[in-house]
């Protein structure tokens, strides 16, 4: 396979080594003496709980950060980078978790930012036809049919990840690092990305990969290294893969693989009734009943309309038709604050933008939804009562932190999510909608969040879970509704909820009949 690049010759992939790399931020040590080797024609995966140092290591390898101590070597020769551009020139490229393409540029233009090809002559001018041709060649070499003339803002997250891969090739890079690229993707989109990664690997590229999803890691990896508290604790090749061993190394204790929950806490008492709900063009004629103590899942591809359904139920969107009843009372079209007061809460997918205020403290985030329930003196919040409330929820939801006055942004993704849970559950709702509740959360924290969800269901909370992870739906749900192009196409119950059956159910408009 050959790749076109703007005045850049492809760099041969090589052995890329980190030797005794450490990284500190002030008094905090993030990496401690990490040594590993990435090899050509191999996919080397980094695993570890949130805060273990995985992303920091990849940022050092790609020139975004400089190590405090230690050395990087490329084919045995020391290398040092002052910026990502230096790493690109040595053939090293980082595909970020959430690409930030320039939305108002075309796909071709955003692929060539910083290296526009020019025509010979005076004055030198940008070779626009050549730019578009080379961009299309790079995408086509990966088997991608993306129109390079469209604006980047029209691309899905999956397509943006694919464009990032092509950008690496345009820069002649053959050592490509993927930092949690699958976290915003559905299983179908993950398979497409994995096809690209396997293609690059078979062509001799050196690939690094970070993922929290165990099944993905076991599927795609040739080598796996585990980081714990900033230190490398284990490395195995394909012949040594073992789920229990990897999980135990990640968390530093023996872990068992938890099977699907078989107990149901549903009382059969209707709590949320949705009838004929529509919001064109996103979804049409959606209807279901959620019962007290039940965990009901919504499965489907990204863009199928799951989040839009949740937002319409919660009052963020105004429905075109249909009814929503909470405990028998009509709430259709009410504003979110009115719906919250009636006992329905929504934990959104993007906690950083919509679920929390990261610069604020843990306590301030927890009590932001409880202000009218705190004691007040002379119109001012009683700080002692606020602190007691924050501390109680931190304890109840097992939030790992230095103290309740710690800024939320300093916590790992899993602990941030538990704070968001605690904020809304402090309102003692009757119904909770959880949109991708474990996105970007490590394996250990996922199990803790699953346990919290089960405890809430056992206490009588009716829970609607939106998830792109089939294993998560299998693990948690009493029933699963599959959404395809804005319509419910299948309902799966109890022991029939398996990864294969869930996956099959939402890949066509005919659901399980496909």
Model confidence pLDDT, tens digit, residues 450-502: 988 999 999 999 999 999 888 889 999 999 999 988 999 999 998 899 887 88
Say if residue 287's pLDDT is above 60: yes
Q: Do 152 and 102 meet the contact criterion of CB atoms below 8 Å apart?
A: yes
Tell me: do 325 and 295 sit in the same domain: yes
* Residue 513 pLDDT class (50, 70, 90 cuts): low
Tell me: do 90 and 75 sit in the same domain: yes
Reduced to 3 states (helix: H, G, I; strand: E, B; else coil), residue 390 is helix
Residue 4 is predicted with a pLDDT of 39
Tell me: do 222 and 184 sit in the same domain: yes
Residue 17 is predicted with a pLDDT of 96
Nearest 5°: the CA angle 54, 167, 158 is 70
Residue 74 is predicted with a pLDDT of 95
Region at 428 (left for phi over 0; alpha for psi -120 to 50; beta for the rest): left
Report the alpha-carbon distance of residue 49 to residue 225 in Å, rounded: 12
Tell me: do 73 and 207 sit in the same domain: yes
pLDDT tens digits for range 353-412: 677 778 889 888 888 877 777 667 766 777 777 788 888 888 888 888 888 888 888 887
Tell me: do 218 and 143 sit in the same domain: yes
Tally Cβ neighbours within 10 Å of residue 503.
16
Q: Which two tokens stand for residue 434?
A: 């959880």
Residue 5 is predicted with a pLDDT of 41
Tell me: do 233 and 285 sit in the same domain: no
Report the alpha-carbon distance of residue 449 to residue 261 in Å, rounded: 14
Whether the link from the prior residue into 354 is cis, omega within 30° of 0, is: no
Question: Per the structure, how many domains does the chain have?
Answer: 3
Region at 49 (left for phi over 0; alpha for psi -120 to 50; beta for the rest): beta
Tell me: do 226 and 288 sit in the same domain: no
| Inside any domain, residue 279 | yes
| Inside any domain, residue 7 | no
| Inside any domain, residue 415 | yes
Say if residue 131's pLDDT is above 70: yes
The residue range of the domain holding 492 is 270-343+429-513
| Inside any domain, residue 133 | yes
- Whole-angstrom CA distances from 99 to 92, 167, 280, 372 are 17, 11, 29, 39
Q: Which CATH number belongs to the domain containing residue 328 in this structure?
A: 3.40.50.300
| Inside any domain, residue 351 | no
| Inside any domain, residue 5 | no
Helices assigned H by DSSP within 428-488: 443-458, 470-476
| Inside any domain, residue 229 | yes
Tell me: do 502 and 422 sit in the same domain: no
- In DSSP terms, 79 is beta-bridged to 72
Average pLDDT over residues 319-335: 96
| Inside any domain, residue 259 | no
């Amino acid at each position: 396979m050959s790749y076109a690049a703007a005045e850049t010759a492809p760099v041969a992939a090589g052995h890329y080594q980190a030797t005794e790399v450490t990284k500190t931020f002030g008094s905090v040590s993030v990496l401690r003496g990490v040594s590993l080797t990435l090899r050509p024609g191999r996919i080397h995966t980094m695993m570890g709980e949130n805060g273990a140092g995985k992303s920091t290591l990849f940022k050092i390898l790609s020139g975004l950060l400089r190590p405090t101590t230690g050395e990087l070597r490329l084919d045995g020769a020391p290398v040092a980078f002052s910026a990502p551009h230096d790493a690109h020139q040595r053939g090293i490229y980082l595909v970020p978790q959430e690409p930030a393409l320039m939305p108002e540029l075309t796909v071709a233009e955003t692929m060539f930012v910083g290296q526009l090809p020019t025509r010979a002559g005076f004055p030198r001018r940008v070779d626009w036809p050549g730019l578009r041709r080379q961009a299309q060649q790079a995408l086509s070499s990966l088997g991608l049919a993306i129109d390079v003339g469209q604006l980047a803002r029209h691309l899905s997250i999956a397509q943006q990840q694919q464009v990032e891969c092509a950008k690496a090739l345009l820069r002649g890079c053959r050592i490509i690092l993927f930092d949690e690229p699958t976290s915003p993707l559905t299983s179908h989109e993950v398979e497409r990305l994995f096809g690209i990664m396997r293609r690059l690997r078979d062509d001799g590229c050196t690939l690094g990969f970070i993922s929290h999803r165990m099944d993905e890691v076991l599927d795609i990896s040739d080598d796996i290294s585990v980081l714990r508290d900033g230190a490398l604790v284990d490395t195995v090749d394909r012949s040594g893969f073992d789920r229990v061993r990897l999980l135990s190394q990640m968390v530093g204790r023996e872990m068992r693989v938890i099977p699907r929950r078989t107990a149901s806490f549903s009382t059969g008492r209707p709590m949320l009734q949705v009838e004929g709900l529509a919001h064109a063009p996103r979804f049409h004629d959606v209807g279901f009943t959620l019962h007290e103590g039940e965990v009901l899942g919504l499965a489907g591809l990204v863009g199928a309309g799951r989040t839009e359904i949740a937002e319409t139920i919660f009052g963020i969107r105004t429905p075109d038709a249909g009814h929503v009843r909470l405990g028998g009372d009509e709430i259709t079209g009410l504003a979110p604050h009115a719906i919250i007061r009636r006992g329905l809460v929504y934990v959104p997918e993007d906690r950083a933008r919509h679920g929390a205020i990261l610069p604020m403290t843990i306590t301030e985030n927890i009590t932001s939804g409880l202000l009218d329930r705190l004691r007040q003196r002379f119109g001012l919040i009683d700080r002692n009562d606020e602190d007691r409330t924050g501390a109680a929820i931190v304890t109840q939801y097992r939030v790992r932190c230095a103290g309740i006055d710690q800024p939320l942004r300093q916590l790992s993704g899993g602990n941030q999510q538990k704070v968001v849970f605690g904020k809304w559950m402090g309102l003692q709702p009757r119904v909770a909608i959880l949109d991708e509740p474990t996105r970007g959360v490590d394996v250990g924290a996922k199990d803790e969040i699953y346990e919290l969800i089960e405890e809430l269901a056992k206490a009588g909370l009716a829970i609607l879970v939106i998830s792109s992870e089939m294993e998560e739906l299998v693990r948690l749900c009493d029933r699963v509704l599959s959404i395809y192009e804005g319509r419910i196409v299948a309902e799966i119950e109890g022991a029939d909820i398996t990864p294969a059956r869930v996956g099959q159910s939402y890949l066509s408009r005919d659901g399980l009949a496909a």
